[in-house]
Chains A and B, each alone.
Chain A
């Protein structure tokens, strides 16, 4: 995880760069082959299935749905990726966004404010709740040394309980007319985020929040690649000990990163809440946080990569709706998604290894060629330094 794909890619445009793009593509093809085999084994025609997916997925209405769902996935994956950049596993995005969306929905439904302000306050509430909830895990990590992996998983369950407690008619919920569902009071039009009919051939509107998602992606890129703070985060992710020696306060970074990740997670429910449902009810989508983890992994924490991953994921999710009608279990898509994630991360790992070794060999070759006469250069047995411990042990005490 410590490797930063972006920097490698931006830093050097060589064969390695091409390889880094080709690897995930090959991995996706590989996942497709595995999925085809499973389909064939279970008596479904693979090519026909693929054709169904593509046909349905390219209809105007489905495209709108794909973009809308991808917007949500994208924000979720960004929230996860912020932590990943520092080797923090925020598995708790799921709980953070659900709690944030619930409370923001309640506040948004209760407020009477002019349009832009109304939306702004609702979003701010969501960001604040997400950040606060995530800060619990951050605080436990820096003060008590509790692994954020475990604590965020536990906090997810707790958020579910707290959410269920809040979402009762005694507290934040009202009955939804015409069903036995309950939800928060609907947000009035002044608090809704307008969408736009972008895709020709359908009335369905693309979430206005898609724009916000793009801006978040840009902000993410700028934060990590152009700011001091982002540098500190990446440094901490790559080597905590080196970051400490360079003057970075790792505890502070952990806490702040957790809060940023949680604040971003707070936004995950907003496209749906402000663009479609206008109320948080029992059937508000769940599990988006886990999808976000998978997509962040696919996109290797790169904002463009994540966008591609989110669209791919959303395409599979939306177009798979047609499969059930054709008698093919649509869960084949989940299998495909899982296989894609596994094969892509393996592909990245292999590329990373290959490139590190290749670069070391290239450097030592280049140097020994240009200065074979220089005394002591490329000191004999240090060539194996592709693994840290090697050169460390080679360079033992000099007394």
Chain B
């Protein structure tokens, strides 16, 4: 390719090569929402038969852009051209008609319908009288499935399928509609590495057949291994177009976040010999008695951050809920020198366990309630929120204001409902709340997921400060740099079992990643050369 390795101008990488057929072109796309510009002057050219990756941080505007391309939202300015012809999509149906299909990050599948029903929905083959021609549908699905090696079984119920299989159903759904351009939104977020490999094999197969794939991700190693071209988006606009062979992951990460690369590293150890939380033989069973968390034991000392690494869905969420008493479990949990195994969630919280939940909307906030009421949530038996059986409004409000001030929660006031805040500010409020009342142990589940860079750095600072003050932290995260940077010790969870202990001072994200997949320390399966494999997303963690 003649194009510059890294062109930091806003012009598209591919415009240098006008002779090549372009599947999709976006020019000057701008999308405003009240108060915010989500996309600003986006330029993008995707060549036919390419895997084109779009990388950027959470909230950089990738998803909005793809929704515009898929007809779910309309741009305020700019032009979209598909196969050279300008298009104006009003609904996804228009996009589908133009041969564009989208595989959503959160699968758009109905669990209680069969694979076949999910696939044909909206474009059903019919016989007389509106009846569905199931035989024809089955035949066509089989054909497509065989042609691209997707291995989809039409008559299974979707709820019986694993994540990887569901994703293949999603892809087939799009192909079934005759799409030649596929948008995949964060397709690997929920996959285990083997499934990622399979997915990439499938994608390469699709490209060989002449299809075009737009691949949205912020996992840079994956992008580098599968993409033919990469466009970087930062703060709503395209900042660079690059080719994988000309760029390192580290450089990509810098392009994504601009100049700042916040580092989650902790300095000196503050671990003390006192055990704050001990878990012994903890087992959580799912439906049918199958263990989801299997005989897990660990100790966290005062001033220690224990990180749990693992691919999502390996029992982390259940482990946390069991420790919080939200889910029945076998085994012994001790807080200090007290056996709390039989305690209710409330008593555990009163005993000094703080909890930053994984899903703040479902578990952390009352979205419809003002901030000061959210301050009370989870602390409704403790000062300054209550006096005996009475709510202490003045106390709660004053303390909410304190949290807003000292945790830099950006809000016009404490009477605003929680839903009105951005994700980062909601999370800072939760962190502030859980840090108040002098917790002994903090369970932090993905504490910086989906928050902006500034809030992320602030939350890390707060965690470090609390650790220095003697707090014991159980940190669950999918961000390996966060885990390595913050933790004093690391454990790896796989299929509900603790399979490895790792010293964070002496591990790289890629080694940790392979331990998470069960490949073990020596596992170099598919691991590209280290210099190519810079830190994901926020980078910089491993140089120490």
Contact = CB atoms under 8 A, between A and B. Distances in A.
Give the most central of B33, B218, B390: most A CB within 10 Å: B33
Contacts of A371: 410
B439 interface: no
A394 B59 contact: yes
A245 B326 contact: yes
B263 to A, nearest CB: 15
Nearest to B449: A398
Given A380-B59, A394-B59, A395-B58, A364 B391 contact: no
B345 interface: yes
A399 B479 contact: yes
Give the most central of A7, A227, A245: most B CB within 10 Å: A245
B324 interface: yes
A361 B389 CA distance: 37
B205 interface: no
Interface string B180-223: 00000010011000000000000000000000000000110000
A232 interface: yes
Nearest to B37: A380
B485 interface: no
A312 to B, nearest CB: 27
A385 B419 contact: yes
Contacts of B389: 227-229
B29 to A, nearest CB: 13
Given A393-B105, A398-B479, A241 B362 contact: yes
Given A242-B362, A249-B344, A396 B450 contact: yes
**Interface residues on chain B, size class:** 35 or more
Contact of B368 (A2, A376, A396): A2
Interface in A75-113: none
Contact of B377 (A3, A242, A359, A395): A242
Nearest to A388: B361
A392 B361 contact: yes
Contacts of B186: 396-397
Given A384-B33, A393-B105, A397-B449, A231 B391 contact: yes
B390 A226 contact: yes
Interface residues of A, number: 62
A363 interface: yes
Interface in A351-368: 356, 359-368
A227 B380 CA distance: 10
Contacts of A398: 58, 218, 446, 448-450, 478-479, 537
B420 A395 contact: no
Contact of B376 (A231, A245, A391): A231
Contacts of A386: 419
A368 B412 CA distance: 11
A397 B34 CA distance: 25
A12 B36 CA distance: 25
Closest 10 pairs (CB-CB, A-B): A395-B450, A247-B346, A379-B59, A376-B452, A383-B33, A364-B35, A246-B378, A397-B189, A383-B36, A245-B363
Interface of B: 33-39, 58-64, 104-106, 186, 189-190, 218-219, 235-236, 260, 312, 324, 326, 344-350, 355, 357, 359, 361-370, 373, 376-381, 386, 389-391, 393, 410-412, 415-417, 419-424, 446, 448-455, 478-480, 536-537
Given A249-B346, A394-B450, 12 more contacts: A231-B391, A243-B377, A365-B35, A367-B411, A371-B410, A379-B452, A381-B61, A385-B419, A385-B423, A396-B106, A397-B312, A397-B478
